[in-house]
Every structure is written in structure tokens, then in C-alpha cells.
A and B are shown apart, each in its own frame.
Chain A
């Protein structure tokens, strides 16, 4: 059992080992308990400063990271690209180096371009946490998803997880596939063929176009959000209409009851109610959508804590 992460940055799940993930989960267990105390704060990171750089919109992830940082007593600065020098033409490395010149130790970054986090980790002197880079990876989301499955079912190994929807544009799907496979779960994908990457089966996942068949196979169904902002133009590039998508790939109560077993329902948020899932399914007793959000803070605290442990202490 290792006590230390094998990596200095969290750029993607792909670079983590199963041991790393288990360590993050064990540490998150501790933080989950802290989050239920009357005073939900520990002093571990009080000598560190973290910059949250969001070059793309986010509510949940951003609030979750900020809460995680504050509950670890880190100093936090927030930055979003709207109203910043980015619109004046400053490059990413320049922007970040200017922020680091103000003595920032860690950077949490969301960026619309795949690979932005990896690029940054090679060019600036700070620990990088990828909070989503384009259609590439969203590692903390995958960690909290797997952690929520582990909490609900007691294990991840051997669990059959179905990921439904816009696989093509989803960093959540890719990170989830890597994470679940490293932990020994089976993964199946389901969605319109226009939203299914061409060679995705080479990752060792099953692909099933029929949602009803796929639902009968799985223990957990993760209903991804249709990324309207990435469908190009008016958002009707890859499927005829939201209504048709909802009919073929949406989960309503009737379809859910037809499965005939207690499939756990997940959604990374924000939900388009009536599209990916209906209100009755989102608020169903087997839905762990809000547990995912709650666990997100503990997981992010664990990631920041374990990465911070590897930052050498500055002397003087």
C-alpha cells in the first residue's frame, strides 16, 4: 500500500496507477468525515496558495475546488477568462507565469483545448490540477464518480458501468473509462453513432447502440450531459433534435422500471431535465447524483492534499 502519489501533477487519469486511485479514495474517506464536522476545516495547506484558472464556464467544478481548497486552509485566487488580459491577446504561459510571479504554488485549470494542462505542466513551475481540458480528460470527475460507485455498491471491481450519451465530446467519458478500467470495472458505451468516436472499442469497452439492452446489462448508468455548446453552430449538428435524442437515449421512469432491477443512476451535471433523464429519474431513490456532488469536495481535498505533500518546503 503506497502512501504517496506517483505523480506531481494531476493531468489525467491515464497517468495514474490503480494504487494512486486507491490512495486518493482512502484519503477522501478521511476528508469526508471532516466535512461532516461542525467545523469543516483543517489546517493542512495553510502555507500554500492555489490559483483557480477557468478559461471555460463551470459552476459545480469551480465551487467544488474552491470549497476543497478553503477547507484545507489554502489561500485561493480565482481567475476567469472573461474580463481578463486573455482577451487582450496574452498567451497561456504568460498569463500563468504572471500569476505564479505572485507566489502561487498550485494551479487548478479548466481550459477548452485538449492537452492544455499537460502543456502547462511542462512550461511553468507549479503543480497543475486538470479541471477539464476540452474533450480530453476531467480526472477529478472520474475519481468522484468511481468513489461514489464504491460508496454505493461497496466496490468498483467487477461492477458493470454504462456510460450513455455524447461520448465524442465528453472528457468525463474518457476519464471515466480509464478510471473504471484501472479499478477493474466493466464499461459499456451507448449513444448515437454520430456521437461515438470511431475507434473507441480499441480502449477495451463494449459499445451497444440500443439503450434498453444496455440498461439490462449494467449495474450503474452514467447519463452524460448533451454538450450543446460543443455540437457546433446551433447545436443540431450530430443528432436531428433534442426531442429525438430524449426518446432514444433519454431515461424516463417508464424505461427505468422496464429494466427490472435497481440500476444506480448517475449524472455529472448540469442536468438537462427531460433530455438525458427526466425529473422522476433524477430524483429517484437509486439516483446518486447529489452524492456525486458531495463526494466531489472530499475527492478534490484528497487530490490537493496528496499533491501538496510532494511540494518541497521553501526555506526562507
Chain B
């Protein structure tokens, strides 16, 4: 396994900041917007965005939640072990809310499909947007496209992209892992 750093430092911070400004551009002061991070790794981006948005806007305006999609996955009984659930923290109705769904890496689109399904059990949102930090282009298995993207990455199937965060991994960076040199 070989790992190459593809985003870090100043560029990483700018990317997060740009995503925040894109959200403000789209939704104004973010009233009526619910920012929802997908478990397990999407929540790290969502938490960072929330903090950054608070800093930029000078006040807490948006609704924030974390969503686990385990029981909505389409690969139950396709895997050798059942996926284990993480916490869901979503204590408000999504009825008539503008939802921004947040995940770290968009790959096949199956997680997002399950996320949309799980989301709808909390009400009927006015709209749903998808924000991802990394979009692995040309690898979608479902017709799902992001509205906001941190960085596009072209990669092949046996590569893996991971987003690491200061809070949980000690450092802000994006790594591309390859099987072969």
C-alpha cells in the first residue's frame, strides 16, 4: 500500500472556507437550512463546516444533525458481517427544511442513496443538496451528483481516498492510497 498526499495545509483550509462561502451564496444567512453529516466520517466535515460557518456569520443560525444510515444500506446480507450502527443525532423535523447532506468522499453513490432514504424518515424536506469534500469522478454506480465539491479526484477502483481531520487523526489532509507503486 502506497499513500500520496493530495491536499493539505493552506489549500485544505481554503477548501473548507470556500465550501462555507458557497453555502452562504446559495442560502443567504442559512436560516431554514439543516446541515446533516453522514456517519461515520461525514460528521467530521459537517462539524468543521458548522464551526467555520459560525465563525464567518458571527452567530449560530443553522440546524445541525448527524445521521447513521446503517439500516438503510443496500448491502445487508451481501457482506460477511452485518454493518454496525453509529449514533444518529437529529432532534428536529426535516419538514420544509433545506437540507445539506454532508459526506467526506463520494464514490459509488450508494451511501448517499441510503442517506436520502434515511433522511426521509425524519420528514419531507423542501430540498436536499449534497456537499462532499472529495468527489471520485467517473466511479458512480447510481445517478447521484454533488452540488458542492471540495476537490475532484480521478482514481481507479483499487485505490482508496481518505480524508483525515485534525480533531480525530491529528492532521488535516487528503490521502490517495494505491495497492501498487
Contacts and interface: CB of A to CB of B under 8 A. Distances in A.
A6 B118 CA distance: 29
Contact of B72 (A27, A42, A306, A308): A42
A306 B83 CA distance: 10
A34 B71 contact: yes
B72 A33 contact: no
B126 to A, nearest CB: 16
Contact of A4 (B76, B82, B87, B117): B82
Nearest to A72: B71
A39 B71 contact: no
B77 A39 contact: no
Nearest to B86: A30
A33 B80 CA distance: 25
B70 A30 contact: yes
Given A4-B82, A306-B82, A30 B68 contact: yes
B148 to A, nearest CB: 27
Contacts of A44: 71-72, 76
A34 B69 CA distance: 11
B1 interface: no
Given A37-B122, A41-B121, A3 B81 contact: yes
Interface residues of B, number: 22
A34 B70 CA distance: 11
Interface centre among B71, B78, B88 (most CB of A within 10 A): B71
Q: Bin chain A's interface residue count.
A: 20 to 34
Interface in B64-105: 68, 70-72, 76-78, 80-88, 93
Contact of B88 (A33, A43, A306): A33
Contacts of B121: 34, 37-42
A309 B81 contact: yes
A236 B129 CA distance: 68
A311 B76 CA distance: 11
Given A44-B71, A309-B76, A33 B82 contact: no
B85 A30 contact: yes
Contact of B77 (A3, A34, A311): A311
Interface centre among A39, A43, A306, A311 (most CB of B within 10 A): A43
A4 B81 contact: yes
B51 to A, nearest CB: 24
Contacts of B80: 4
A26 B77 contact: no
Interface of A: 3-4, 26-27, 29-31, 33-34, 37-44, 47, 305-306, 308-309, 311, 313
19 contacts: A27-B85, A30-B68, A30-B85, A30-B88, A31-B71, A31-B85, A33-B87, A37-B122, A39-B120, A41-B121, A42-B71, A42-B121, A43-B117, A44-B72, A44-B76, A306-B82, A308-B77, A309-B77, A313-B78
What 5 A-B pairs are tightest by C-beta distance, nearest first? A30-B85, A309-B82, A42-B71, A39-B121, A3-B81
Interface of B: 68, 70-72, 76-78, 80-88, 93, 117, 120-123
